């Protein structure tokens, strides 16, 4: 009964994912890969056009979407979310069991799960992978909420001991930072090689990586799930140009095109042989404001003035062509549990000017906005924001940088303002809050690397994390949103949408509201 109860509890306490994921930078144009048009028999080749390449394959150092979305094709985690993010499911774990006060969780692994080299996936691999993710130099150490200590019970059983009760803990094990790698393989090739030559533990194996051009995935013969790939290969082409991706899916050169430009969604719906998908993303475009590098950002009145000076609906209309929503909360969209728009900051230029006049910078100041180079959404948003903030005498210089530099500047705290697109994996806000609001000492990321701190926000999020009663959680999260929208440590802008297109002989593929997608669920008729 305890195990049954724990599963019910886990499925109720669904938690989101990381805010640190960002819209990545498109890489170089893809090479012409003629072999993509051929079929290898069986399910054939599924060819996909994506806007950017993978930066690296090691989950420990990953915090960009295009890398992690590729990694989720080849790595397994103990737990998995349903496509809509509303349900928690076992994956590499066959079962789990809480103790009575939710400070210990025991996971039993599938006994037939194997890495791509045919070696078994064991509890030792789980402990080694996750202990490595907790290390100080890890980009995903913030994902290990409640500071779990990991113990090997036997070859197929692993026990997590938490430093505080956390009924939502199994949800965190769905994150990319919880990917299971092979300890033996890492010892053989060296951990540095994991970024270039990973050994898969999930549905696919990495067969080929031509940087900036092509990724070839093949089914893992040791995959244990009942949803194994029905295609023989997946070819991920790097096609930076938006128009080229659209043209390739129209002509049938590719089976799937991701990141369809907003301006071409309606026209593509009428293209013969093409199916278009669009769904609101559980995610928010926002500007973190670094209080450590710009003294004016430490002044709440300045931050409030900036928030009132931004016409978010104009951004939605101009950048998203109406296919998105204005951000009214620090939570990542109206579909997120406990979201409220009651504390929305409306566009009010006169109030913005009044607040600036009352602030520590009445004459304005100059600042720099870092954006990912090649990111159309970021660049168009930045241009409009520059004009809007100029109306309150804030002179913004827009600086595009490549994705690796962008992340180094953000996580290293060397930026001033920065564009990011954060996403959720499920509909509960609990997981996002430590990243956006907690200090490093508390297990967060220095409030999204801004230097902001509000003790009441941290207290409310911790209280909600262990609260069983939904009504009480709603009260806690309501107060949290009210404080956050008053403090505005980030300028929350809008919620974009996912856009993709497939040929009409492709079934089973979609981009989830979380932004994730699973190519092994797709099938293709020849």
Report the chain's C-alpha Rg in angstroms: 23
Mean per-residue pLDDT for 257-266? 92
Predicted TM-score (pTM) of this structure: 0.76
Per-residue model confidence as pLDDT tens digits over 204-254: 999 999 999 999 999 999 999 999 999 999 999 999 999 999 999 999 999
Beta strands in 250-360 (DSSP E): 256-258, 274-280, 283-288, 325-326
Q: Which CATH number fits domain 283-495: 3.10.105.10, 1.10.3720.10, 3.90.180.10, 3.40.50.450?
A: 3.10.105.10
Q: Which token pair is 383?
A: 């241009």
pLDDT at 182: 98
The CA distance from 386 to 110, in Å, is 53
pLDDT at 160: 98
Which helix (H) or strand (E) covers residue 148, if one does? none
- Determine the pLDDT at residue 510: 94
The Cα-based distances of 382 to 69, 309, 364, 386 in angstroms read 25, 14, 18, 6
Mean model confidence pLDDT for the chain: 90
- The answer on pLDDT for 298 being more than 90 is yes
Nearest residue to 18 via CA among 195, 171, 200: 171
| pLDDT at residue number 287 | 98
Confidence of residue 279 (pLDDT cuts 50, 70, 90): confident
pLDDT digits (tens, 9 = 90+) for 391-412: 999 999 999 999 889 989 999 9
Instruction: State how far the Cα of 73 lies from the Cα of 376, in Å rounded to an integer.
Output: 26
pLDDT tens, position by position, 414-458:
999 999 998 887 778 887 898 999 998 887 889 999 999 999 999
Task: Check: CB of residue 49 under 8 Å from CB of residue 509.
Answer: no
Q: Which secondary-structure segment (H or E) carries 349?
A: helix 349-358
What does the pLDDT look like over 122-145, one tens digit per residue?
A: 999 999 999 999 999 999 987 898
Domain(s) labelled CATH 3.90.76.10 in the chain stretch across 2-199+498-524
Q: What percent of the chain has pLDDT over 90?
A: 75
**CA atoms 328, 331, 335, 339: torsion sign:** negative
Q: Please write the tens of the pLDDT for every residue from 319-373.
A: 999 989 999 999 999 989 899 999 999 999 999 999 999 999 999 999 999 999 9
Look at residue 469 in the predicted model and tell me its pLDDT: 81
Residues 6+ apart with CB under 8 A from 192: none
pLDDT, position 192 = 93
The closest alpha carbon to 193, from 53, 57, 55, belongs to 57
Task: Say if residues 389 and 369 touch (Cβ distance below 8 Å).
Answer: no
pLDDT at site 225: 94
With H, G, I as helix, E, B as strand and everything else as coil, classify residue 330.
coil
d(CA 133, CA 495): 30
Given pLDDT bands bounded at 50, 70 and 90, which one contains residue 28?
very low
Closest residue by Cα to residue 14 from 123, 160, 162, 170: 170
220 close to 205: Cβ distance less than 8 angstroms: yes
Locus of tokens 């295609």? 231
Mean predicted confidence (pLDDT) in 503-510: 95
What CATH number does the domain located at 2-199+498-524 have?
3.90.76.10
Q: Coil, strand, or helix at residue 248?
A: helix
CATH code 3.10.105.10 region(s) in the chain? 283-495
């Amino acid at each position: 009964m305890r195990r049954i109860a724990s599963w019910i509890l886990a499925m109720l306490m669904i938690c989101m994912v990381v805010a640190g994921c960002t819209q990545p930078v498109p890489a170089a144009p893809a090479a012409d890969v003629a072999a993509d048009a051929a079929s290898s028999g069986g399910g054939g080749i599924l060819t996909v056009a994506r806007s950017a390449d993978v930066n690296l394959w090691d989950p420990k150092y990953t915090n960009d979407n295009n890398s992690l979305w590729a990694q989720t094709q080849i790595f397994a985690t103990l737990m998995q979310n349903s496509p809509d993010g509303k349900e928690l499911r076992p994956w590499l774990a066959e079962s789990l069991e809480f103790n009575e006060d939710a400070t210990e969780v025991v996971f039993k692994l599938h006994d037939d799960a194997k890495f791509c080299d045919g070696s078994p996936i064991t509890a030792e691999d789980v402990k080694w992978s996750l202990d490595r993710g907790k290390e100080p130099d890890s980009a995903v150490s913030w994902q290990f909420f409640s500071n779990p200590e990991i113990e090997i019970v036997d070859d197929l059983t692993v026990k997590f001991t938490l430093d505080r009760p956390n009924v939502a803990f199994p949800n965190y094990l769905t994150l990319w930072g919880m990917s299971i790698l092979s300890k033996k393989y890492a010892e053989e090739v060296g951990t540095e090689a994991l970024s270039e030559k990973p050994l898969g533990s999930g549905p696919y194996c990495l067969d080929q990586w031509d940087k900036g051009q092509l990724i070839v995935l093949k089914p893992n013969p040791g995959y244990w799930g009942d949803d194994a790939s029905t295609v023989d290969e997946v070819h991920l082409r790097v096609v930076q140009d938006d128009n080229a991706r659209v043209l390739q899916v129209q002509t049938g050169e590719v089976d799937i095109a991701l990141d369809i430009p907003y301006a071409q969604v309606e026209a593509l719906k009428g293209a013969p042989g093409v199916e278009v998908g669009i769904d609101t993303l559980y995610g928010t475009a926002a500007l973190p404001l670094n209080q450590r590098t710009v003294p004016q950002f430490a002044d709440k009145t300045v931050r409030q003035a900036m928030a009132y000076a931004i016409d978010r609906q104009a951004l939605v209309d101009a950048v998203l062509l109406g296919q998105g929503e204005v951000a009214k909360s620090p939570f990542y969209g109206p579909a997120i549990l406990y979201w409220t728009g009651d504390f929305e900051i409306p566009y009010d230029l006169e109030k913005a000017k009044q607040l600036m006049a009352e602030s520590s910078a009445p004459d304005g100041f100059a600042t720099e906005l870092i954006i990912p180079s090649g990111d159309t959404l970021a660049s168009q948003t930045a241009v409009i924001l520059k004009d809007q903030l100029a109306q309150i005498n804030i002179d913004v210089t827009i600086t595009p940088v490549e994705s690796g530099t962008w992340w180094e500047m953000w996580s290293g705290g060397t930026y001033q303002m920065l564009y990011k697109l954060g996403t959720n994996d499920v509909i509960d806000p609990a997981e996002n809050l430590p990243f956006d609001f907690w200090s490093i000492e508390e297990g967060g990321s220095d409030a999204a690397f801004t230097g902001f701190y509000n003790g009441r926000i941290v207290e409310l999020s911790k209280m909600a994390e262990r609260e069983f009663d939904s009504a009480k959680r709603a009260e806690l999260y309501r107060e949290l949103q009210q404080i956050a929208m008053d403090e505005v440590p980030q300028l929350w802008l809008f919620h974009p949408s996912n856009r993709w297109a497939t040929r009409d002989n492709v079934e089973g593929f979609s981009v989830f509201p979380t932004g994730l997608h699973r190519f092994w669920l797709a099938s293709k008729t020849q």
